[in-house]
Amino acid sequence: MSLPLAGRRVLVSAGPTFEDIDPVRFIGNRSSGKMGIAVAAAAQALGAEVVLVAGPVHVATPDGVRRIDVRSAAQMREAVLGELPADVYIGAAAVADFTPRSVSGHKLKKTAGSDTLVLELVRTPDILAEVATHPRRPSLVVGFAAETHDVEHYARGKLANKKLDLIAANLVGAAEGGFERDDNALTVYWAGGERTLGPAAKTLVAAQLVALVAERLDG
Ligand code: C5P
């Protein structure tokens, strides 16, 4: 019997993005990349050809997975779009929503007489929404939504607005799953259905998520 994702190409994004301010400073976030990398490993274990586009993370690349390292949201977008076509895109990266309008070529200095610094930030491209509306759109596009409240309401909003097939939502905040942890719980929503995965180790939740992806791909 062949594996459920044999012959399928799965593209996964993981980790944070770092948006440079000057040669020594950046704006980042607390994403460890563990969930996305566990998803990549789980897809590989189910027989898929897996490409992982990773922001700056300190997690080993799973065996058999091809990894492309990037730093900024703009670089992540380029790498992801450059890897299409794929059967599945799973956007697990915590992409920065804003980036400095310009990167200073020199280290910003404190100036005498001023206690403030104003940074102008501009929106980054929404990679997930772009993949979901791309001419070479994967058959299944999966997003993540980290929410502090009204999880289903916001997750279903993103499912519709970004034209996704599945969205994996988790509650983040004190004592909850999510960033910087080894365990997680997700509720996955799609048009007309939902399934709760975990709470369990991220590796187990990732395996359950990828099994659901394989199911929806066949269905
Ligand atoms: O809208 P929000 O940022 O909460 O959506 C999260 C989902 O969108 C994640 O799957 C994330 O990878 C993706 N995303 C993206 N590009 C952005 C912002 C978010 O692909 N600029």
Domains, the chain, ordered by start = 9-98+121-218 (3.40.50.10300)
Task: State the catalytic residues.
Answer: 29
1 — pLDDT class (breaks 50, 70, 90): confident
Q: With beta carbons less than 8 A apart as the criterion, state whether 216 and 141 touch.
A: no
Q: With beta carbons less than 8 A apart as the criterion, state whether 4 and 47 touch.
A: yes
Ligand 1 atom with the shortest distance to the CA of 124 = 21
Query: Rounded to 5 degrees, what are φ and ψ at 29?
Result: -145, 175
pLDDT (0 to 100) of residue 219: 77
- Residue that wins the pLDDT comparison between 37 and 176: 37
Q: With beta carbons less than 8 A apart as the criterion, state whether 29 and 95 touch.
A: no
DSSP-assigned letter for residue 97: S
Determine the Cα–Cα distance for residues 54 and 16; give it in Å rounded to an integer: 8
Q: Is the CB of 19 under 6 A from ligand 1?
A: no
Q: Is the CB of 190 under 6 A from ligand 1?
A: no
Ligand 1 centroid–CA 127 distance in Å is: 7
Q: How much is the pTM?
A: 0.96
Q: Which of 177, 181, 214 is nearest to 197 (CA)?
A: 177
Q: Which of 111, 93, 119, 91 is nearest to 20 (CA)?
A: 119
Ligand 1 atom with the shortest distance to the CA of 123 = 21
Q: Is the CB of 177 under 6 A from ligand 1?
A: no
Q: Is the CB of 210 under 6 A from ligand 1?
A: no
Q: Is the CB of 35 under 6 A from ligand 1?
A: no
7 — pLDDT class (breaks 50, 70, 90): very high
Ligand 1 centroid–CA 111 distance in Å is: 36
pLDDT (0 to 100) of residue 174: 56
In the structure encoding, which two tokens stand for residue 98, read together? Answer: 């804003």
Q: With beta carbons less than 8 A apart as the criterion, state whether 164 and 150 touch.
A: no
Helix (H) or strand (E) holding 15: none
Ligand 1 atom with the shortest distance to the CA of 129 = 20
44 Cβ neighbours under 8 A, 6+ residues apart: 50, 62, 63, 64, 65
Give percent of the chain with pLDDT exceeding 70: 97
Peptide bond just before 125 cis, omega within 30 deg: no
Determine the Cα–Cα distance for residues 110 and 146; give it in Å rounded to an integer: 35
Pocket test residue of 72, 127, 133, 170 for ligand 1, highest count of atoms within 8 A of CB: 127
Ligand 1 centroid–CA 126 distance in Å is: 6
Ligand 1 centroid–CA 96 distance in Å is: 8
Q: To the nearest whole number, what is the mean pLDDT of the chain?
A: 95
pLDDT tens digits, one per residue of 140-197:
999 999 998 999 999 999 999 999 999 999 988 756 556 667 788 999 999 999 999 9
Ligand 1 centroid–CA 4 distance in Å is: 27
In the structure encoding, which two tokens stand for residue 158, read together? Answer: 């993103």
